[in-house]
Amino acid sequence: MREQTYKGIIQKYKKFLPVSDKTPVITLNEGNTPLIYAGYLSKLTGDNAEVYLKYEGANPTGSFKDRGMTMAISKACEEKAQVVMCASTGNTSASAAAYAARAGIKCIVLIPSGAIALGKLSQALIHGAKVLAIEGNFDVALDLVKEITKLYPIVLVNSLNPYRIEGQKTGSFEICDYLGDAPDFQIMPVGNAGNITAYWKGYKEYQAQGLSTKLPAMLGFQAEGAAPIVRGKPVKDPETIATAIRIGNPASWKSAELARDESGGLIDMVSDEQILEAYKILAEKEGVFAEPASAASIAGLLKLIDKQYFKKSKTNNKFKIVCILTGHGLKDPERAIKTIQAPKVMPADLKTIIKEIGY
């Protein structure tokens, strides 16, 4: 067998990560995800910008969480942990369950009952995690996990675990490596706010090492019904169809604000309607299927284009905008089918079908 050259983000970026030769690397070869040029969306900017999509749905469990989880689980194993635990709107639990399975350790997840997408639930279950659906939302689940992991020898693998942030920052390294420099703007969804914290950390470190010359403005988007940072206060009963970011009291609230302010960016919100519109545009015009929370990036892009936000370039150079698509569309197949009409049932008859096609 030919030796595989790419072995995941720890191997690729170890000099930027808190690992040593003693760290057992638990990897599914995560990272190295496509940065896809988006022609349709670039045109919508009036050709003032090149828009790129960082397709994190191409990670092994279908979301960006794998970057952080390879670090969190590897470090947990280095520390001889036997049990890890997280609260999750779905993707963290899918990723934690997969990496814990690979490491041969136990994984416990608390999810808000009835509020996570089917694909994510199926992942956590099939990887053998102990999945507990609690009668409460993500914020309540996270508070419980924080308490339980303080009381028992269980490692918390939510993004409050600093190794998660370390792993996730490699997304920004890849973007810089691919573009040859940092982009001018980065747009991403904001939920518990770990990822915006991680990307910003990554961009700053790359620049400090002389591997990029500039820093992007960080543009974060929350869902209107779950927009505590935008509103300046926790939201008690967050609601949005983008269940991944249905969070009312983000753990990394302060560092998200810091990323926003240090970078000269913004954190704004988009409605469920705008998210679903963007979700369809992305799939129909760019051929990219991302889950609704990820489409918040594109809804944000469209909102800013409408406000002529990107028309300020002093030079003639086009801006580079990178939108992070955090999770795969197949995570939430029910939403796709609800958004578009289910297929029409037809008799298995050639003439009827040809007539229906329109010939």
Residue ranges binding ligand F0G (CB under 6 A): 63, 88-92, 159, 189-195, 244-245, 291, 293-294, 326-327
Least spacing, CB of residue 89 vs ligand F0G, in Å: 4
- Helices and strands (H and E) in the chain: how many: 15, 10
Least spacing, CB of residue 190 vs ligand F0G, in Å: 5
- Coil, strand or helix at 226: strand
Least spacing, CB of residue 183 vs ligand F0G, in Å: 19
Tokens of 126: 């099939």
Least spacing, CB of residue 113 vs ligand F0G, in Å: 14
Tell me how far the alpha carbon of residue 46 is from its chain's centroid: 27
Tokens of 234: 């926790």
Q: Which is nearer to ligand F0G, 200 or 319 (CB)?
A: 200
Least spacing, CB of residue 330 vs ligand F0G, in Å: 12
Give the Cα separation of 44 and 343 in Å (integer). 30
Q: Which is nearer to ligand F0G, 50 or 137 (CB)?
A: 137
Least spacing, CB of residue 40 vs ligand F0G, in Å: 22
H/E run at residue 84:
strand 83-87
Least spacing, CB of residue 63 vs ligand F0G, in Å: 5
Nearest CA among 135, 326, 137, 292 for reference residue 223:
292
Q: Which is nearer to ligand F0G, 50 or 174 (CB)?
A: 174
**Other Cβ atoms closer than 10 A to 359:** 6
Q: Which is nearer to ligand F0G, 63 or 249 (CB)?
A: 63
Q: Which is nearer to ligand F0G, 70 or 159 (CB)?
A: 159
Q: Which is nearer to ligand F0G, 10 or 198 (CB)?
A: 198
- Among left, alpha and beta (phi > 0; psi -120 to 50; other), residue 114 is left
The side-by-side arrangement of strands in the sheet containing 130-134 is 130-134, 106-112, 83-87, 155-156
Q: Which is nearer to ligand F0G, 211 or 330 (CB)?
A: 330
Tokens of 290: 């991302």
Give the Cα separation of 321 and 302 in Å (integer). 12
Nearest CA among 138, 131, 67, 72 for reference residue 100:
72
